[in-house]
Amino acid sequence: MNLFRLLGDLSHLASILVLLHKIQTSRSCRGISFKTQALYVAVFVARYLDLFWRYISLYNSAMKVFFIGSSCYILYLMKYRYRPTNDPSIDTFRIEYLLVPCAILSLIFNYNFMPTEILWSFSIFLESVAILPQLFMLQRTGEAEAITTHYLAALGIYRALYIPNWIYRYFTEGVIDPIAVTAGIVQTGLYLDFFYVYFTKVLQGQKFELPA
Amino acid sequence: VPPVQAHDEL
Mean pLDDT value across residues A82-106: 97
| A108 falls within a domain | no
Domain count within chain A = 1
Alpha-carbon distance values, A194 to A34, A70, A148, A149, A157 (Å): 19, 24, 12, 9, 11
The per-residue pLDDT for range A117-135, each reduced to its tens digit, is: 999 999 999 999 999 999 9
**First-to-final CA distance of chain A:** 43
A111 chain-B contacts, CB cut-off 8 A: 4
Measure in Å the smallest separation between the Cα of B4 and chain A Cα atoms: 5
Is the per-residue pLDDT at A96 higher than 90? yes
Distance CA A74, CA A16 (A): 9
Count other Cβ atoms within 10 Å, centred on residue A110. 18
Instruction: Please state, in angstroms and as integers, the Cα–Cα distance from residue A132 to each residue in A75, A144, A146, following that order.
Output: 17, 15, 19
- Of chain A, the percentage scoring pLDDT greater than 90 comes to 97
Do A139 and A45 contact (CB within 8 A), yes or no?
no
Q: Is residue A74 part of a domain?
A: yes
pLDDT band at A211 (very low <50, low <70, confident <90, very high): confident
Q: What is the DSSP string of A184-205?
A: HHHHHHHTHHHHHHHHHTGGGT
- How distant is the Cα of A130 from the closest Cα of chain B, in angstroms? 16
More confident residue, A49 or A100: A100
pLDDT digit string, tens, across residues A61-87: 999 999 999 999 999 999 999 999 999
pLDDT at B1 over 50: no
Of A64, A111, A165, the CB nearest to B4: A111
Q: Chain B interface residues facing chain A, Cβ-Cβ under 8 Å?
A: 2-10
Please tell me the distance from the alpha carbon of residue A73 to that of residue A20, in angstroms, as a whole number: 9
Judge whether A104 lies within some domain: no
Min Cα distance B7 → chain A (Å) is 9
Q: Where are the beta strands (DSSP E) in chain A?
A: 143-144, 208-209
Q: Using the beta-carbon criterion (under 8 Å), do B5 and A54 form an inter-chain contact?
A: no
Residues A5-55: pLDDT tens digits?
A: 999 999 999 999 999 999 999 999 999 999 999 999 999 999 999 999 999
Chain pair A-B, CB pairs under 8 angstroms: 33
Instruction: Please indicate, yes or no, if residue A105 is contained in any of the structural domains.
Output: no
Q: Is residue A137 part of a domain?
A: yes
Confirm whether the ipTM is greater than 0.95: no
- Identify whether A77 is part of a domain: yes
Residue A60 in any domain: the answer is yes
Cα–Cα separations (whole angstroms), residue A97 to A100, A103, A105: 6, 10, 13
Indicate whether B2 pLDDT > 70: no
Cα–Cα distance for residue pair A142/A140, rounded to 1 Å: 5
Note whether residue A106 is domain-resident. Answer: no
Closest listed residue to residue A71, CA positions, set A32, A118, A102: A32
Q: Name the more confident of A175 and A40.
A: A40
Structural domain range at position A190: 3-98+124-209
pLDDT band of residue A167 (cuts 50, 70, 90) is very high
A101/A37 Cα distance (integer angstroms): 19
